[in-house]
Amino acid sequence: MALAILVLFSTISLTVEKHYCGSNLVDVAVFSKVEKCDSEMRAHTETSVQKKSCCTDEVEVVLGQEELNTSSLDDLDYGQKIFLSSFVYSYIDLFKGETKGLVHHKYYISPSLIVDIQVLNQVFVI
Protein backbone atom coordinates (compact mmCIF):
# COMPACT_ATOMS: atom_id res chain seq x y z
CA MET A 1 0.00 0.00 0.00
CA ALA A 2 2.84 2.36 0.88
CA LEU A 3 4.59 1.71 -2.43
CA ALA A 4 1.41 2.51 -4.36
CA ILE A 5 1.06 5.82 -2.51
CA LEU A 6 4.73 6.59 -3.15
CA VAL A 7 4.34 5.97 -6.89
CA LEU A 8 1.17 8.08 -6.95
CA PHE A 9 2.80 11.09 -5.29
CA SER A 10 6.00 10.83 -7.32
CA THR A 11 4.11 11.01 -10.63
CA ILE A 12 1.73 13.90 -9.79
CA SER A 13 2.42 17.25 -11.44
CA LEU A 14 1.21 20.42 -9.71
CA THR A 15 0.86 24.08 -10.64
CA VAL A 16 1.16 26.57 -7.78
CA GLU A 17 -0.07 30.09 -8.54
CA LYS A 18 0.79 33.06 -6.30
CA HIS A 19 -0.61 36.59 -6.48
CA TYR A 20 1.39 39.49 -5.04
CA CYS A 21 0.21 43.07 -4.53
CA GLY A 22 3.42 45.03 -4.22
CA SER A 23 5.56 42.83 -1.98
CA ASN A 24 2.63 41.31 -0.06
CA LEU A 25 1.43 37.82 -0.85
CA VAL A 26 -2.34 37.97 -1.31
CA ASP A 27 -3.38 34.51 -2.50
CA VAL A 28 -1.92 31.08 -3.21
CA ALA A 29 -3.80 28.47 -5.24
CA VAL A 30 -2.86 24.91 -6.11
CA PHE A 31 -5.87 23.46 -7.91
CA SER A 32 -7.80 26.64 -8.71
CA LYS A 33 -7.24 30.18 -10.02
CA VAL A 34 -5.84 32.84 -7.70
CA GLU A 35 -8.10 35.64 -6.57
CA LYS A 36 -7.04 39.08 -7.77
CA CYS A 37 -6.93 42.02 -5.39
CA ASP A 38 -9.54 44.82 -5.49
CA SER A 39 -7.27 47.51 -7.02
CA GLU A 40 -6.55 45.34 -10.04
CA MET A 41 -10.26 44.58 -10.54
CA ARG A 42 -11.12 48.28 -10.57
CA ALA A 43 -8.36 49.03 -13.07
CA HIS A 44 -9.83 46.55 -15.54
CA THR A 45 -13.36 47.90 -15.23
CA GLU A 46 -12.43 51.54 -15.86
CA THR A 47 -12.48 52.72 -19.47
CA SER A 48 -9.95 55.48 -18.97
CA VAL A 49 -6.22 55.17 -19.52
CA GLN A 50 -4.87 52.39 -17.39
CA LYS A 51 -1.65 52.71 -15.52
CA LYS A 52 0.70 49.85 -14.83
CA SER A 53 -0.52 47.63 -12.01
CA CYS A 54 1.63 46.99 -8.98
CA CYS A 55 0.28 43.42 -8.77
CA THR A 56 2.24 40.45 -10.07
CA ASP A 57 1.45 36.78 -10.56
CA GLU A 58 3.91 33.93 -10.14
CA VAL A 59 3.33 30.46 -11.51
CA GLU A 60 5.46 27.54 -10.31
CA VAL A 61 5.14 24.19 -12.03
CA VAL A 62 6.17 21.13 -10.01
CA LEU A 63 6.73 18.33 -12.50
CA GLY A 64 6.33 14.73 -11.47
CA GLN A 65 8.23 11.78 -12.78
CA GLU A 66 7.22 11.02 -16.34
CA GLU A 67 8.77 7.60 -16.94
CA LEU A 68 8.44 4.67 -14.59
CA ASN A 69 10.88 1.81 -14.76
CA THR A 70 8.87 -1.36 -15.07
CA SER A 71 10.42 -4.78 -15.19
CA SER A 72 8.96 -8.20 -15.64
CA LEU A 73 9.91 -11.68 -14.54
CA ASP A 74 11.46 -12.25 -17.96
CA ASP A 75 14.21 -9.70 -17.18
CA LEU A 76 15.61 -11.89 -14.39
CA ASP A 77 18.31 -14.43 -15.09
CA TYR A 78 17.99 -18.12 -14.19
CA GLY A 79 19.72 -17.86 -10.79
CA GLN A 80 17.52 -14.99 -9.66
CA LYS A 81 14.39 -16.87 -10.71
CA ILE A 82 15.47 -19.94 -8.73
CA PHE A 83 16.25 -17.83 -5.66
CA LEU A 84 12.94 -15.96 -5.90
CA SER A 85 10.85 -19.09 -6.32
CA SER A 86 12.60 -20.92 -3.45
CA PHE A 87 12.24 -17.87 -1.19
CA VAL A 88 8.51 -17.59 -1.89
CA TYR A 89 8.00 -21.34 -1.48
CA SER A 90 9.88 -21.38 1.84
CA TYR A 91 8.17 -18.42 3.45
CA ILE A 92 4.64 -18.64 2.01
CA ASP A 93 3.35 -20.34 5.18
CA LEU A 94 4.36 -17.37 7.35
CA PHE A 95 1.62 -15.23 5.84
CA LYS A 96 -1.23 -17.71 6.11
CA GLY A 97 -3.74 -17.38 8.90
CA GLU A 98 -3.86 -19.92 11.70
CA THR A 99 -6.22 -22.76 10.88
CA LYS A 100 -8.32 -24.59 13.43
CA GLY A 101 -7.22 -28.14 14.07
CA LEU A 102 -9.53 -31.08 13.53
CA VAL A 103 -10.95 -32.35 16.82
CA HIS A 104 -11.46 -36.10 16.56
CA HIS A 105 -13.22 -36.54 19.90
CA LYS A 106 -15.78 -33.79 19.45
CA TYR A 107 -18.82 -36.07 19.54
CA TYR A 108 -17.38 -38.70 21.92
CA ILE A 109 -19.39 -39.19 25.08
CA SER A 110 -17.39 -40.73 27.90
CA PRO A 111 -19.01 -43.52 29.90
CA SER A 112 -20.31 -42.56 33.28
CA LEU A 113 -18.34 -43.94 36.22
CA ILE A 114 -20.52 -45.47 38.86
CA VAL A 115 -17.71 -46.55 41.13
CA ASP A 116 -13.97 -46.01 41.08
CA ILE A 117 -12.57 -49.55 40.68
CA GLN A 118 -9.05 -48.66 41.86
CA VAL A 119 -10.31 -47.22 45.12
CA LEU A 120 -12.79 -50.05 45.53
CA ASN A 121 -10.10 -52.74 45.24
CA GLN A 122 -7.37 -50.62 46.91
CA VAL A 123 -5.03 -51.10 43.91
CA PHE A 124 -2.71 -48.16 43.21
CA VAL A 125 0.25 -47.79 40.88
CA ILE A 126 3.27 -46.72 42.90
- Quick: pLDDT tens for 11-66: 888 888 998 888 888 888 888 888 877 655 555 555 555 566 788 888 888 888 87
58-104 tens-digit pLDDT: 888 888 887 777 777 788 899 999 999 999 998 887 877 777 777 78
pLDDT at 71: 75
Verdict on whether the full-model pTM lies above 0.95: no
- Enumerate the β-bridge partners of residue 25: 20
* DSSP-derived secondary structure for the chain: -HHHHHHHHHH--EEEEEEEETTEEEEEESSSPPPPPHHHHHHHH--SPPPPPSEEEEEEEE----------GGGS-HHHHHHHHHHHHHHGGGGSPPPPPP-TTTT--PPPPSS-HHHHHT----
